[in-house]
Amino acid sequence: ICPGRGFPSILTVCGMAAVWQQVLAVDARYNAYRTPTFPQFRTQYIRRRSQLLRENAKCGFEPGLRRHYLRLRSQLLALRYGPLSEQSSFRASSVRSSRTTLDRMEDFEEDPRAQGARGHRRSVSRGSYQLQAQMNRAVYDERTPGALVPTSVAEASRAMAGDTTLSENYAFAGMHHIFDQHVDSAVPRLQFANDDKHLLACCSLDGTLSIMILSPSPPSVKVVLKGHAGPVTDFAWSLSNDVIVSTSKDGTLRIWNTEDGRCIREVRDPEASELLCCTFQPMNNNLTVVGNSKHLLQVVNISTGKKVKGGSSKLTGRVLSMSFDAPGRILWAGDDRGSVFSFLFDMATGKLTKAKRLVVSEGSPICSISARSWISREARDPSLLINACVNKLLLYRVVDNEGTLQLKRSFPIKHGSQPLHSIFCPLMSFRQGACVVTGSEDACVYFFDVERNTKAIVNKLQGHGGPVLDVSFNCDESLLASADSTGMVIIWRREQK
Ligand X SMILES: *[C@@H]1O[C@H](CO)[C@@H](O)[C@H](O)[C@H]1NC(C)=O
**Amino acid residing at 379:** A
Please choose, out of 86-94, 170-178, 205-213, 278-286, the segment that lies near ligand X by the rule CB under 6 A.
Answer: 278-286
3-state class of 209 per DSSP?
strand
3-state class of 172 per DSSP?
strand
- State the minimum distance, in angstroms, from the CB of residue 284 to ligand X: 5
3-state class of 487 per DSSP?
coil
* 8 Å CB contact between 442 and 25: no
Nearer to ligand X, 63 or 327 (CB): 327
Please choose, out of 62-70, 82-90, 224-232, 302-310, the segment that lies near ligand X by the rule CB under 6 A.
Answer: 302-310
Distances (CA, A) of 403 to 305, 323, 337, 352, 411: 29, 12, 19, 13, 22
When binding is defined by CB under 6 A, the residue of 285, 298, 370, 472 that contacts ligand X is 285
Please choose, out of 220-228, 244-252, 298-306, 435-443, the segment that lies near ligand X by the rule CB under 6 A.
Answer: 298-306
* 8 Å CB contact between 413 and 445: no
When binding is defined by CB under 6 A, the residue of 303, 353, 401, 406 that contacts ligand X is 303
Q: Which residues pair with 211 in a beta bridge?
A: 201, 223
Residue 308 contacts ligand X per CB under 6 A: yes
Residue 304 contacts ligand X per CB under 6 A: yes
- State the minimum distance, in angstroms, from the CB of residue 305 to ligand X: 9
Cβ contacts of 129-133, under 8 Å, gap ≥ 24: 129/161, 129/169, 130/476, 131/157, 131/160, 131/161, 132/157, 132/161, 132/427, 132/429, 132/430, 133/427, 133/476, 133/477
> Which residues, including other chains, have CB under 8 Å from residue 152's CB and lie 6 or more apart?
none
- State the minimum distance, in angstroms, from the CB of residue 328 to ligand X: 11
Size of the site for ligand X (CB under 6 A): 9
* 8 Å CB contact between 465 and 442: no
How many angstroms separate the CA atoms of 25 and 131, rounded? 34
- State the minimum distance, in angstroms, from the CB of residue 347 to ligand X: 8
**Amino acid residing at 360:** V
Residue 282 contacts ligand X per CB under 6 A: no
Residue 284 contacts ligand X per CB under 6 A: yes
* 8 Å CB contact between 384 and 407: no
Please choose, out of 69-77, 179-187, 244-252, 299-307, the segment that lies near ligand X by the rule CB under 6 A.
Answer: 299-307
Residue 286 contacts ligand X per CB under 6 A: yes
Q: One symbol per residue from 353 to 392: x for binding ligand X (CB under 6 A), - otherwise; what is it?
A: ----------------------------------------
- State the minimum distance, in angstroms, from the CB of residue 83 to ligand X: 51
Nearer to ligand X, 217 or 349 (CB): 349
Q: Which residues bind ligand X (CB under 6 A)?
A: 284-287, 301, 303-304, 308, 350
